[in-house]
Amino acid sequence: MKKTSASILIIDDQEDILFASKMLLKKHFENIFTLNNPKNVVELLAKNIIDVVLLDMNYRIGFEDGREGLYLLKEIKTLSPKTVVILMTAFGKVETAVEGLKSGAFDYILKPWENEKLLSVVKQAVDKSRKEQKKPNNIESIDDFFVGNSDVIKKAYSLADKVAKTDANVLILGENGTGKFVLSDHIHRQSERKNSPFIHVDLGSLNSNIFESELFGYAKGAFTDAKIDTPGRFEMAQNGTVFLDEIGNVPLHLQSKLLQVIQTKTVTRLGESKARPLNVRIITATNLDLKQEVADKNFREDLYYRINTMEIVLPPLRERNEDKIPLAHYLLQKMMTKYGRDEIIFDEKALVQIEKHAWNGNIREMENRIERAVILCDNNHITVSDLDLEQITTYEENQDNIQLSAVEKTAIEKILFKNNNNISKTAEELGLSRASLYRRLEKYNISTN
């Protein structure tokens, strides 16, 4: 039987699972890699083109909610977007696997699996990978991603381009969904470190119990599940960039440990006393007002100044009105490429609503709504209904009307009081007829007695 030319990576902390799956798959596919420690996936993906990853959802005793698997899924999709990921999970953990599908996994397999089922899913994943490889490069590559023409966003990217050539620590501030990850990746790609790793750490989703082991690594035997010496995220980023997202969420008692690493440019693994030298560029980001967090004693002042050599503020989309329509067209092209669609356009009413909408979720909200619209739209025209903006806009208009009514009522009451409730003088000063004023008095239930 001729083997399929494909590279499959299996990640699981149970050796019997690795052995059994490798024995099965190597009969059908040319290259089979196995990892019993997920920490090594960064190095492996940097050195090899992997078509499909079989990824276990849990790696530590006592942490069986699948969060580690979801975290690794995001890492893999960031490091190698065209690699197709199949999740492996035990029966009864299907809800977490479904969450993984929403985060970009291709499918999931229940353990223990049926061999025919596993082979079928892996073959489908290989076919999917082949199609992905034929697609053009990711639309958000270094040469092709959306910035915008508004002065506020051009200022932010101008600062980023200047600081990229240095090794200065950068703090990126901005609301959720404003593009902090994209900007940090841009800085890395523009820097002298661009050929070394870019490691993204989502501190907001990192359990405080595994904070040190994830970031600093650990020695064999440091704790129950520490089976081999393992580098942390800082060491994985050696000679490259580590992006610490949501740094404002780090608890105070752990901030001192982070500060020590940044100050000394060394890291000490759990269970070791030897400090290892670090050569990494540090970029951090948060949606919090760190100055206020410092004032409120929730964030260390010395850490704030260490990470804040250069501060870049990403504006919310509501402050970039001229960028809304161009961004929508860019995201539409991106989703058309993702789903293999073409000739989709926005109808005029949809464009009006896109420009009018507040976009409190910023770029992420727009991207999610446009992706939904591309899936739902008929006749290759995206409508207001496809974007699901009607209800939101109607609510906002109602809020505007309520505010205007409150202003009008207050103005009438003030001028009535000034004129001692004289209807004629009040109507004249307001530029209304007496009849119009009476209608407003009735509307706002204003008494003239």
4-134: which CATH architecture?
A: 3-Layer(aba) Sandwich (3.40)
Q: State pLDDT tens for residues 357-410.
A: 999 999 999 999 999 899 888 788 899 988 988 644 444 445 555 555 676 788
Q: With 90 as the cut, is the pLDDT of residue 316 above it?
A: yes
Percent of the chain topping pLDDT 90: 45
Q: With 70 as the cut, is the pLDDT of residue 46 above it?
A: yes
Residues contacting residue 404 through CB under 8 Å, at least 6 positions apart: none
How sure is the predictor about 140, in pLDDT bands with cuts at 50, 70 and 90?
A: very low
Answer CATH for 399-444 from 1.25.40, 1.10.10, 1.20.120, 3.30.450:
1.10.10
How sure is the predictor about 62, in pLDDT bands with cuts at 50, 70 and 90?
A: very low
Hey, where are the domains in the chain? 4-134, 151-313, 318-387, 399-444
Note the pLDDT of residue 171.
98
Better pLDDT: 394 or 309: 309
Note the pLDDT of residue 397.
47
Percent of the chain topping pLDDT 70: 89
Note the pLDDT of residue 418.
82
Note the pLDDT of residue 137.
43
Q: State pLDDT tens for residues 331-348.
A: 998 888 888 887 899 998
Note the pLDDT of residue 415.
84
Better pLDDT: 69 or 406: 69
Q: State pLDDT tens for residues 71-89.
A: 888 888 877 888 999 998 8
Q: With 70 as the cut, is the pLDDT of residue 144 above it?
A: no
Note the pLDDT of residue 390.
61
Q: Enter the CATH code of domain 318-387.
A: 1.10.8.60
Task: State the sign of the Cα–Cα–Cα–Cα dihedral 334, 338, 342, 344.
Answer: negative
Is the pTM of the predicted complex or chain greater than 0.85? Answer: no
Note the pLDDT of residue 302.
96
Mean pLDDT of the chain: 85
Asked whether the domain spanning 151-313 has the same topology as the one spanning 4-134, the reply is yes
Name 202's bridge partners: 245
- Report the CATH fold assignment for 151-313: Rossmann fold (3.40.50)
Note the pLDDT of residue 449.
66
